[in-house]
Amino acid sequence: MSTSALRAAARACFDAALAAVEPGRLVTAALARESDRLALRSGDPVAVHRGPVLLVGAGKAARSMASAAATLAQPSRGIVIVPHGQRGAGLDPVEILGGSHPVPDAAGEAATASLLAMVESADADTLVLVVLSGGASALLVAPAPGIVLADKQAVTTALLESGADVSAMNTVRRHCSRVKGGGLLRAACRARAVWTLLLSDVVGDDPATIGSGPTAADPTTYADALAVLGRWLPPDVVPPRVRARLETGASGSAPETLKPGDPLLARARLEVLADNWTAVAAAADAARARGFEPRVLAEPLVSDAAAAGRLVVARLMDGPSTRPVAVVAGGETTVRVTPGGCGGRAQHLALAAAIALEGLEGVVLAAGTDGVDGPTDAAGACVDGGTVARARARGFDPLAALAATDSHAILAAAGDLLRTGPTGTNVADLVVALRPPC
């Protein structure tokens, strides 16, 4: 099997995974409209609502989710916040507003203020229907008292560069916000009910972590948030107002986030429509249909991205097989960024895999299902046994690029970047590695 055939098969597996987590189809399967009744049929028991609906949400997949939800829910009003550049045409009567990702901006702050005001207006006859996906943590921006937008931008940037995982980051975000950590549910305290449809981009599907849990209970505390900062950031990097807010909360002088057992949760329903495993399973099925022997990694990739890339290649080359082999994995790795480097966690994983794969027959595709990997125009990359040679022929040093977390330029030079544009969905990252039979 040629390298070009392997690369085409890897891309077909990735496309099959995206199709499996297409938000519109998932929302349509979860909701049903029968005359004057709206039903949430994905949960147990089925929830039913008669009366007005407000539709709100945020995230990289929120526009697609909102489009399907609006058709069925027939909302009277709504606001959904998406990354700049993904707004598209309006969804009257639902406003589509823009914000920045992964670092929040003033547009996102203004949009969130409007969204919260709308939710606070909901009365006892009204259902608040929330569509939420990965990316909402940056797009829902409502700084807690004593904190300003610049503080949130600074601490978010510092944590992103530190290599902290998403759970740690969102522990801090929840305690610096009026909307996260159940804040949106609190704002909807007068509504009849709050239904949240979630597209999960986090390992384990913890509702408190997806979008930083605006309608979920938060089991973490201010003390936990301080511990995250102590582990991942030098003291002089933490904005003084952020530290003061967390210390005030830890002393009991500021209200905590919404906790398990709060009475507000009795009126809330949260349904995870799909997750990273949904995409992994679809990619494995697509590989099997193309004659590959699929080997799905049971444990998600959550460690250092370079280590994950080497692991995938080791598993790909492990043992003989008379059939073509596919290794499929998902997750969300981490990268401790070196200043000046450009890339993303999927590209960093792919570069490490390319180095391990040098001279061997096989390909490794690593990409974000949202179509965006770090601050670049690529979703990730698809590398093969000749990637390192092609890069060196163009004057690049693969090991130096990996050490500098500068994967984007070298993968571009090798012709291996995967560019899909925003996909409209988001269930973290996917890795598909293929090799011919031994």
- pLDDT tens by residue, 128-148: 999 999 999 999 999 999 999
Residue from 10, 89, 103, 9 nearest 364 by CA: 10
> Does the structure show a pLDDT above 80 at 58?
yes
Tell me which DSSP letter residue 177 carries: B
The domain that holds 47 is classified in CATH as: 3.40.50.10180
Give residue 15's pLDDT: 98
> What's the pLDDT at 128?
98
189-205 pLDDT per residue, tens: 999 999 999 999 998 99
Q: Confidence band (pLDDT; 50, 70, 90) for 35?
A: confident
269 and 418 housed in the same domain: no
- Segment 239-245 shows an average pLDDT of 98
pLDDT, mean of residues 82-101 = 91
- Distances from the Cα of 169 to the Cαs of 121, 174, 176, 216, in angstroms? 31, 9, 11, 17
> Under the phi-then-psi rule, with left for phi > 0, alpha for psi from -120 to 50, and beta for the rest, what region is 299?
beta
Asked whether residue 18 is domain-assigned, the answer is no
Residues 80 and 156 in one domain: yes
Report yes or no on 334 lying in a domain.
yes
- Percent of the chain's residues with pLDDT above 70: 100
Domain boundary among 254, 275, 296: 275
Containing domain of residue 56, as a range? 23-275
Q: Are 101 and 60 in contact (CB under 8 A)?
A: yes
DSSP at 407: H
CA dist 123 and 2 (Å) reads: 62
Which of 250, 275, 300 delimits the end of a domain?
275
Which residues have C-beta within 8 Å of that of residue 114, sequence separation ≥ 6?
79, 95, 97
pTM of the model: 0.92
CA distances 125 to 51, 54, 69, 83, 190, Å, are 6, 11, 19, 31, 9
Any idea which residue has 């179509």 for tokens? Answer: 371
Q: Would 322 be classed as within a structural domain?
A: yes
* Per-residue model confidence (pLDDT) at position 44: 76
pLDDT at 321: 86
Short-list 363, 247, 364, 231, CA closest to 301: 364
Are residues 251 and 241 part of one domain?
A: yes
- Structural domain total, the chain: 2
Question: Do 314 and 196 belong together in one domain?
Answer: no
Domain of 340, CATH number, reads 3.40.1480.10
Sequence-ordered list of residues with C-beta below 8 angstroms from that of 49, at least 6 positions apart, any chain: 37, 38, 39, 40, 127, 192, 193, 195
141 and 262, same domain (yes or no): yes
Give domain status of residue 227, yes or no.
Answer: yes
Is the pLDDT score of 388 beyond 90?
yes
Over residues 109-134, the mean pLDDT reads 98
234 and 118 in a single domain? The answer is yes
Mean pLDDT computed over 46-64: 96
Q: Two tokens at 32?
A: 């049903």
The DSSP bridge partners found for residue 56 are: 79, 130
The answer to whether residues 173 and 282 belong to one domain is no
- 150 within a domain of the structure (yes/no): yes
- Boundary (domain end) residue, out of 256, 275, 294: 275
Same-domain check for residues 258 and 300: no
> Are 243 and 386 members of one domain?
no
Report which secondary-structure segment, H or E, holds 272. Answer: strand 268-274
pLDDT tens for residues 350-371? 999 999 999 999 999 999 999 9
| Same domain (yes/no): 227, 134 | yes
Are 158 and 281 in a shared domain?
no
Q: Edge-to-edge, what's the strand order for the sheet holding 127-133?
A: 94-99, 77-83, 53-58, 127-133, 193-199, 268-274
Q: Give me the mean pLDDT over the 155-161 stretch.
A: 95
Cβ 242 vs Cβ 158: under 8 Å: no
Per-residue confidence (pLDDT) for residue 226, from 0 to 100: 98
Q: Do 322 and 205 share a domain, yes or no?
A: no
**Stretch 287-312: mean pLDDT, rounded?**
96
Q: Is the pLDDT of residue 113 over 90?
A: yes
Report whether pLDDT(170) > 80.
yes
pLDDT above 80 (res 12): yes
The yes-or-no verdict on residue 118 having pLDDT over 90 is yes
Confidence class of residue 320 from pLDDT cuts 50, 70 and 90? Answer: confident
325 part of a folded domain:
yes
Q: What is the mean pLDDT of the chain?
A: 96
Sign of the four-CA dihedral 122, 128, 131, 135: positive
Beta-bridge partners for 328: 296, 432
Q: In the predicted model, what is the mean pLDDT of residues 143-163?
A: 96
Q: Is 419 a member of any domain? A: yes
Residue 140 lies in a domain: yes
Q: Higher model confidence: residue 88 or residue 235?
A: 235
pLDDT of residue 359: 96
